Amino acid sequence: MTDLSVVALGPGPAELLTLGALEAMRAAPALVLRTGVHPVADYLRKQGIAFTTLDNLHESSEDFDALVQRAVNYLINLAQQGPVVYAVPDPAQDATVQALRAACKEDIAIQPGVPLAAAGLAHAPEQGALVCTATGLAVHDAQHALVITELNSRELAGDVKLKLLAFYDIDTPVIFYPPGQEVVRACVRMPLEDLDRQPAYDHTALAVVLPKPFAQRERYDVQDLIHLMARLRAPDGCPWDREQTHQSLAKYLIEEAYETAAAIREEDWAHVADELGDVLLQVVFHADVGQQYGTLELSDITTAVCKKMIARHPHIFGDTQVDSSGEVLTQWEAIKAKERGEQTLTDRLRGIGNGLPALLRAQKAQERAAKVGFDFPDALEALQKVVEEAHEVREQVEKQGDYAEEVGDLFFSCVNVARLLNIDPDEMVNLSTDKFIRRLEWIEKMLINDKKTWKQLTLSAMDVYWERSKGMI
C-alpha cells in the first residue's frame, strides 16, 4: 500500500503558499519537491524543512514522457517504504500528479492551493475562463478567455501561438505575464502575433488570451456557429429563421449537399469550404429547431453518429481483424443489416432510402441484388438489355402507349451498365451535362461571330453547328 499525498506550492511567492500545505510539508516524514527551482524551496530551507527534489530526473530523462514515468515509479517506490508528501506548483495541471492518480489504485490525497493561473484569472474579463498549461494546450473554441501557464521558452510560446491561430485572429488581444516572483504581477498587453517575441520566458510566465467581440472576428468555430444560430432564432432574432421547422428546412439540406458535391467536382476548395459550411449550418439549424420543439438536440445528433461509428468499426474499437478496405465495407454492411433487423433480400432492398437521388437508389438496389447472384454476367450483357429497353420505349411512343414506365426501365438498365463498368452514373451524367453546356456555349459564340441568333436557325442548321462543336469540345 502506498501512503502518498500531494500539496500545492503555488505560483511562486511564499506569501501564496497555504498554511495547510506548509503544515503538511513541515510534518512530512519524507518531502519531495518536483523541482527545487521554485521560490518556496528557498523559503522551506530557511524554515529548516528538509526535502529532496526530482531535478536529477529532469536532467537525465530523454523526454517529457520519460520524465513523468520515472517520477511516478520513484514516488510509488518511496511511498511503499513510508508516508510521502509530494509538492508541485499546481496539482490540477501537473502531469506527474495526473499520472500518479492513474497508476495508484488508491485515491491520492491532494491538498489544493493557489493555482498557477491565479494572476491571469484575476484579469480575465468574465467567468468561465479556460485554463491549461502551454504543453497541454487544447483549444476547442474562441468564445472564452484562455489562461495559458508555464510558457517555459520562446520555442514553446511559438508552438502555442501556431495552435491558437487556428481559432483566434492574429491581432487577438493577449495579456502576458513575464517571469516574476511578485505577489502582484506586472503584465504587458499585446496582440497574439507577439506572444513569442517577448524578452524572457520561464515556468512562471503565463498569458491570457482575450476573445474579440463576436462580429469583429476573422475566424469562427463550431461553437460560434451554435451561438450564431441561437442568436438568429432568439425572440428578438430574425423573423424568417424563427419561423422555420424541420419540414421547411428539409429541401435546403438536399440543395446544399448537391452544391457541395458540385464544388468537390470542380476541386475549388475555397468553394468546398463555403458549401460544407452551408451543410453544417443546416445541421445546427435542425438542432436548434429540435431544441425548441423538443424533438432533438445537437448532442442527440453527435451521440447517434459517434455510437454508430464505434459500433461499425469493431476493428478499431474492438478486437475484430480486417485486412483490406473491401473487408471493412463487407463488415459495415453486415453490421448495418443486423442493426436494422434485415434478414432477407427484400428487407435489404426496402432498407434503401427512398429519399436518395434516383440513379443512386437504382445503383444500390442493383448492388444488393447482385450479392445474392441476381445480376448480369458482364457489362455487355447489360448493354443488350439497354438496347431492348430502348426498342420498347420506341414501340410505346409509336403507339402512344405507357412510354413513361419504359423510359424508367431504360434509365434503370443504363445504371446497370455503368455499375458493371465501375462508373458512377450520377457523376457521368453530370459530366455529360457539363459537356452539353460547353458545346452550346461554343455554338452561341459562333452565332455572335456570324451575326446570327438562335431564332434564325433551322434544326438542320443547328445540327451543323452541333457537329462543329463536337470537333472543338
pLDDT in tens, 344-370: 999 989 988 888 889 999 999 999 999
Q: What is the pLDDT of residue 144?
A: 82
Burial degree of 239 (CB within 10 A; 0-12, 13-18, 19+): exposed
Residue 440 or 122, more confident: 440
Residue ending a domain, choose from 111, 138, 163: 111
Write the pLDDT tens digit of every residue in 39-98.
899 999 999 999 999 999 988 988 888 999 999 999 999 999 999 999 999 999 899 999
| Counted domains in the chain | 4
Query: 99 and 137 share a domain?
Result: no
pLDDT at 50: 96
Rounded Cα gap, residues 75 and 204, in angstroms: 25
Sheet containing 188-191: order of strands: 130-133, 146-149, 206-209, 173-177, 188-191
Rounded Cα–Cα distance for residues 211 and 142 (Å): 6
Tell me: do 240 and 210 sit in the same domain: no
Question: Is 340 inside any structural domain?
Answer: no
pLDDT for res 1? 57
The answer to whether 47 and 76 are in contact (CB under 8 A) is no
Supply the range of the domain harboring residue 193: 118-216
Q: Where does the pLDDT of residue 138 fall: very low under 50, low under 70, confident under 90, or very high at 90 and above?
A: confident
Q: What is the pLDDT of residues 170-221, one digit of tens each?
A: 999 999 999 987 888 889 999 999 999 999 999 889 999 998 888 888 888 8
Q: Cα torsion at 367, 372, 375, 377 (round to 10°)?
A: 120
d(CA 176, CA 178): 6
Residue 431 lies in a domain: yes
- Considering the domain boundaries, does residue 367 fall inside one? no
Pick the last residue of a domain from 216, 249, 279: 216
In a domain, 318, yes or no: no
79 CB-near residues (< 8 Å, 6+ apart): 2, 3, 4
Please name the helix (run of DSSP H) or strand (run of DSSP E) that holds residue 265, with its range, or none: helix 246-266
pLDDT at 126 exceeding the cut of 70: no
Domain boundary residue, one of 216, 237, 272: 216
Residue 301 lies in a domain: yes
Asked, for residue 236, whether it belongs to a domain, the answer is: yes
* In a shared domain, residues 66 and 17: yes
In a domain, 58, yes or no: yes
- Tell me the percentage of the chain whose pLDDT exceeds 70: 99
CATH code at 38?
3.40.1010.10
DSSP string, 190-219: EEGGGTT-SS---TT-EEEEPPPPGGG-S-
Q: Give me the pLDDT at residue 354, please.
A: 84
pLDDT at 147 > cutoff 80 = yes
Q: What is the CATH number of the domain that holds 170?
A: 3.30.950.10
Q: What angle do CA 215, 297, 302 make, to 5 degrees?
A: 90
Kindly state whether residues 232 and 195 are assigned to the same domain.
no
Task: Report the CATH number at residue 296.
Answer: 1.10.287.1080
Report pLDDT for 104: 86
Q: Structure pTM?
A: 0.67
